[in-house]
Every structure is written in structure tokens, then in C-alpha cells.
Amino acid sequence: MIRLSAFADEISPDLDEQIAVLKSENIHYIDFRAAWNTNVLDLTDQQIAQVKKTLAANGIGVAAIGSPIGKVPVDSPFDEHLERFERALTVAKTLEAPYIRIFSFYPPAQAAAATDPATYRDEVLRRLREMTLRASQADVILIHENEKGIYGDTIARCIDLLQSINDPHFLSVLDPANYLQCDQVPYPDAYDTTLPWLEYVHVKDVQADGGMVVAGEGEAHWPELLEQLFEDGYDGFLSLEPHLFHAGQYQGFSGADRFREASQALQRLLRSLEVPTA
């Protein structure tokens, strides 16, 4: 059965308000990215323990750690980034999250805008393979998001990563709106080609002019995609990440009211398609 989750820091920086809105929308999972204006990887052990206790008391499970791993230039110091990655693994294990969301690195910091991604492909793969090895040892699955501007922002390069790494601990997030922002066709093209590795779905929508809207009001073909997911037996997460007020490099924001609009739009679509959720 499909399960609903959300990047709840789009609701509020305050964890209690995040939880209250999730519960009001009958969403029982969270993609934990930030609380109290602090990124998940920068929270102290004490704060993470508080998060775990508070979520458990409210019946909220952690679907994924919404980490910023891989959202740095590919020529940045890797040892330092691996330390951040190890922190992500620790937090995932503490919060009992099966997944860590990651990215596949920006071009080299000094690269020209037109630099061919093929020139830094090998280094991207080297870094991702090392992280995948560590994730497999920790029994955590890395889910790669097709974010605009990183190596894996097109369908072809996402397939390249998934085929080259070829590991069950490195799988795919389908983010249709992100594909649209890279002039890619999310459905059926991205869906059909990444289906063998599809593990997670991010829900936001975008209009032709770039404006972010609730699912079903943009160009992402959400009704058709949701119906296809159901027909294909998808039983993973649909995670709301609506970005209705602001879309920043490391996180977006919607506010409580706009988040509710996004949640209710998605749940209306699911009901109209008779897709059961948990």
C-alpha cells in the first residue's frame, strides 16, 4: 500500500507545529530534513533523541532522512563530505529511517557553465560508490533525487548512475517537477526508464512558466502517474515537498496553510483514482 510522507519543515521550523499539521492531514510519516531552523545533520545527539521521542509519542515514523549529501561541487574535499555522510548514517539508524535522500554533486566549482558532465562523471561515480558501500554496511538505502544542476538531473544521466552503481542500496527518487525544470518528460519517459530502480516519489508540481503549484495543477501529469504507480503495484512513499512559497537550494517552504492545500490536492487525486494509502 502506498504511504504518505512529507518534508514537514515546509510547514514550520517548529517540530511541534510540523507534527500537528501532519496529524491533521492524516500523514503518519516524515521526511526529516530540518527542525528549529537547523538542518538534520547539524542537530546534536540530544536534539535527535528529542526528535525521536516526540515523533514516536505522536505516532509519526521517519520515512527518510532528507539530507543535503551530494549537494556540493564534485571537486570539494571528499573526506569532509564523508564525515557529513557518516553523520547522516548515524542519524538514520537512530531515527530508524530506512532511507537517506542524496544528490549526485554539482559541477566542479571553477567549471564553466557549459562544462560537459562527462568530464566529471568518473569522480561522481567514485564518490557515490564509496557512499553506497558505507550505506550497505549500515543497511540503509540511498535514494538519489534528480535535482536540477547536479550530475543526475536528466533521465539519461540518472540511468547512467543507476546502471553503473548497480546496487540495491542505491535507488531512485522520482521527482517529476525537477525533471520538468530540466526539460525532461517525467511521465511516461522518466517513469518508464527508471522503473527498475524506482523506490520513492516526491510530490510537487510546476507550471510551464516555472511556478510551483499543487499536484494536478501543473505539467507533471500527476493523475496519470498516480494511476500508473497503483497499476504497477508501487507500495513505497509519496512524499509531499510542495515548495509553494519558496524553493531554496537546501530546502523549500510552503507554510501550514499552503501545505494543507498541497496535501488535500494530492489526497483528492488519490481518492478519485481509488488508490488506498496508509
Question: Per residue in 3-21, pLDDT tens?
Answer: 999 999 999 999 999 999 9
- The amino acid occupying position 172 is S
Mean pLDDT across 33-41: 98
Evaluated on CA atoms 252, 39, 239, 236, the torsion sign reads: positive
Q: Tally DSSP H helices, then E strands, for the chain.
A: 9, 14
Average pLDDT score over the chain: 96
Residue 243 lies in a domain: yes
Report the distance separating Cα 135 and Cα 6, nearest Å.
23
pTM: 0.96
Residue 72 lies in a domain: yes
C-alpha cell at position 190? 522518466
Report the distance separating Cα 67 and Cα 7, nearest Å.
11
**What is the count of structural domains for the chain?**
1
Report the distance separating Cα 5 and Cα 242, nearest Å.
12
pLDDT at 254: 78
Q: With H, G, I as helix, E, B as strand and everything else as coil, classify residue 50.
A: helix
Mean pLDDT across 250-268: 87
Q: With H, G, I as helix, E, B as strand and everything else as coil, classify residue 98.
A: coil
Lowest mean pLDDT among 77-91, 94-108, 109-123: 109-123
Residue 250 lies in a domain: yes
pLDDT at 112: 72
How many other C-beta atoms lie within 10 A of the C-beta of residue 75? 15
Contact between 220 and 180 (Cβ < 8 Å): yes
Residue 278 lies in a domain: no
Contact between 222 and 216 (Cβ < 8 Å): yes
Strands (DSSP E) found in the chain: 3-6, 29-32, 34-35, 38-39, 61-65, 99-102, 141-144, 170-174, 198-203, 205-206, 212-213, 237-240, 246-247, 252-253
Confidence of residue 45 (pLDDT cuts 50, 70, 90): very high
Q: To which residue does cell 537547523 refer?
A: 38
- What's the CATH number where 42 sits? 3.20.20.150
C-alpha cell at position 57? 509519542
The domain in which residue 118 lies consists of 3-11+19-272
Residue 159 lies in a domain: yes
pLDDT at 115: 83
Residue 277 lies in a domain: no
Mean pLDDT across 203-226: 96
